[in-house]
Amino acid sequence: MLSILGAVLAIAATLTAAAAPGCSSCVGGGSGGTWSSGLAFIGASAEATTRIDTASMTSATGSAGDMRPSSMIIARSLYEDQLGDNRYVMAYVGAPGDESYIEGSIHLPLDPEVFNPDGTLKSPEEIAAIFGAAGISEDDPLVIYGDSFVNGYDTFAFWVMKYLGHQDVLLLEGTKGGRQAAGLKFAANPSSRDPVTYNPDPNLDLLALPGELEGLQLVDARTQADYNAGHLEGAINIDYTRVRGSNGLATSQALAQAFSGLDKNQKVAVSSINGGLASIVWYALYSQGYQGSLLMSG
């Protein structure tokens, strides 16, 4: 059944979500709204990564006057930071290939370190110890990036950091090509930092569990076809492709349309077979001021 995001960031070039078992609380049979357990889990498949709705093919800034989320940074700003104060700690969270790392960045250890053998997430204190060993403290201004925004690696890592209570964390907009065009240079290997102590202040409201769903709005982040094949009772479908653009999130107008069926004053829990893609919808909700969580079970 739905593990706590299976095994995030499995180190493989192509990651696909495993089929979930049947669900007694699902409507219509099929694979329901739960995530499969095991190690095949977070990143979008090659097909899913390229399947962006035409309506969402806009930059993160969208049309005139549409603002980028305050939790996102553009590549040029990160480049200028490197030339100046060098304030940010950069952390790569993808599946490394040739020269995946922006020079000076570390590899954020998510998989398999942050998971128990059964695929459930470790406690905030255990995760904090792992990140501290990697040289990250709760006070570090952190920039998280993967190979591109649209595959769910970085949004899930952002969720993990917010779950720990990390305040100063940003997502890097765009793709490797755009980042190189902005002046950022890449290397084959990550940098390292001296171990530190990470003191978490966990936000447990970001984690939703079965049996604790009363009063929550349920969102299924899968495609409409998968949703129609079977979903958790009461869940509405918000396909993850509706909330992303070519470099980051879709425009505010597109997000408002995608979330038009939700009450902003009521908490939301997002589920999917693929936790990375669910985290994209969660992040979009977060950027628009919704009280969102990821729905998980052991």
Which tens digits make up the pLDDT trace of 198-212?
Answer: 999 999 999 988 888
Task: Give the mean pLDDT of 84-104.
Answer: 90
Task: Give the mean pLDDT of 3-27.
Answer: 34
pTM value > 0.85: no
Average predicted confidence (pLDDT) for the chain: 78
How does residue 14 score in pLDDT terms, banded at 50, 70 and 90? very low
How does residue 58 score in pLDDT terms, banded at 50, 70 and 90? very low
Least confident of 25-29, 72-76, 135-139, 161-165: 25-29
Greatest pairwise CA separation for the chain in angstroms:
56
Q: Please check the confidence at residue 5 and state whether its pLDDT lies above 50.
A: no
Task: Give the mean pLDDT of 174-193.
Answer: 94
Nearest C-alpha neighbor of 95 from the set 24, 38, 145: 145
Interatomic CA distance for residues 88 and 291, integer angstroms: 27
Task: For the beta carbon of residue 261, count every other beta carbon within 10 angstroms.
Answer: 11
pLDDT at residue number 47: 36
User: CB-based burial of residue 85 (10 Å sphere; 0-12 exposed, 13-18 middle, 19+ buried)?
Assistant: exposed
Least confident of 198-207, 243-252, 261-270: 243-252
Residue 18 per-residue DSSP state: P
Interatomic CA distance for residues 266 and 253, integer angstroms: 21
How does residue 55 score in pLDDT terms, banded at 50, 70 and 90? very low
Nearest C-alpha neighbor of 104 from the set 82, 85, 83: 82
Task: Give the mean pLDDT of 121-141.
Answer: 94
Q: Please check the confidence at residue 183 and state whether its pLDDT lies above 90.
A: yes
pLDDT at residue number 51: 35
113: phi then psi, degrees, rounded to nearest 5: -60, -40
pLDDT at residue number 67: 65
